[in-house]
A and B are shown apart, each in its own frame.
Chain A
Amino acid sequence: MTDHDKELQELLRQWEAPRPGGRLDSRVMNSWRQTKPRPRIRTWLGIAAGILLLLGLAQSWMTPQTTRLATTMDAQGFRPVPDGNITITTLTRGSKQ
């Protein structure tokens, strides 16, 4: 920058700007709050789906498992056939055993 430029610049800097008006801040923030973007519907649906999934997983972890394949049987009262003689009886609908 030349000396001429510096002198001009010093003079130009004497034109000082005021500060913004006192009400500008509140005016801008009020307008922002009235018009600010809201979270989109899809975002809320995604959040809801995630919560439901977590609840479902939590419930399955907490519920005791009662359905199991039987690997043992209670043999109380079991009597084997004494002589190995097996009788096959055919049952039809309505017949009494």
Chain B
Amino acid sequence: MTDETLYQRMRAGDESAFRALYGKYRDPLFRFAWRMTGSADTADDLTHDCFLSLLKPGFEAQRSQLKTYLYAAMRNLCRKHYRDTGREDAADTEQTASTAPAALDSMISAENGEAVRMAVAALPAAQREVVILFEYEELSMEEIAMIAGIETGAVKSRLYRARESLRRTLETKLRATAEAKK
């Protein structure tokens, strides 16, 4: 069953249709919100609001796909969150307590992950959202263009500049990774 069919059934009050859409898009939208805001609690709230916004009229199957509509809705919620708070949230620093010594690979990966998080957070918002949607959500340039309301060429340009910035910022890490492979 297509997303558009599920949407129509959901709008008519069909709970199973809503569950199907929720199950399909919960994790991708949460991940996007988490990477944009840096907070799991905020990402939870925004994911909740994003799905409830489906109850309001707004999606038109002739104009866009439900997938890009949802990502665009989440993008707008993230931007509203920035305006309301005046800043992005600091990244969660909660660590799961563990009595067992962490494996070296896990430690290195966690360190690299933190470095990447800081590098992406340092990007301008316009470049950050393009990187997140392309590298992590694996959306196409055309889909990102629809979500961000820009031309495909602008998406390519922002992605290119973002990657250049990330390479400069993460140069040390990239070199260490390349050395480890030799």
Contact = CB atoms under 8 A, between A and B. Distances in A.
Contacts, number: 95
- Size category, B interface: 35 or more
Interface in A1-60: 4-5, 7-21, 23-25, 27-29, 31-33, 35-39
Interface of B is mostly: helix
Nearest to B111: A14
Interface residues of A, number: 31
B11 interface: yes
B162 to A, nearest CB: 10
Contact of A36 (B15, B43, B131): B15
Contact of B15 (A19, A24, A32): A32
Contacts of A16: 113
A93 B22 CA distance: 86
A11 B48 contact: no
Nearest to A40: B12
23 contacts: A5-B163, A7-B177, A7-B178, A8-B163, A8-B174, A11-B116, A12-B131, A14-B112, A15-B112, A20-B44, A21-B41, A23-B44, A24-B30, A24-B47, A28-B47, A28-B48, A29-B19, A32-B52, A36-B15, A37-B12, A37-B55, A38-B13, A39-B13
Given A4-B167, A12-B120, A39-B13, 5 more contacts: A8-B166, A11-B177, A15-B35, A21-B41, A24-B30
Interface of A: 4-5, 7-21, 23-25, 27-29, 31-33, 35-39
Interface of B: 11-13, 15, 18-19, 22, 26-27, 30-31, 34-35, 40-41, 43-44, 47-48, 51-52, 55, 109, 112-114, 116-117, 120, 131, 135-136, 163, 166-167, 170, 173-174, 177-178
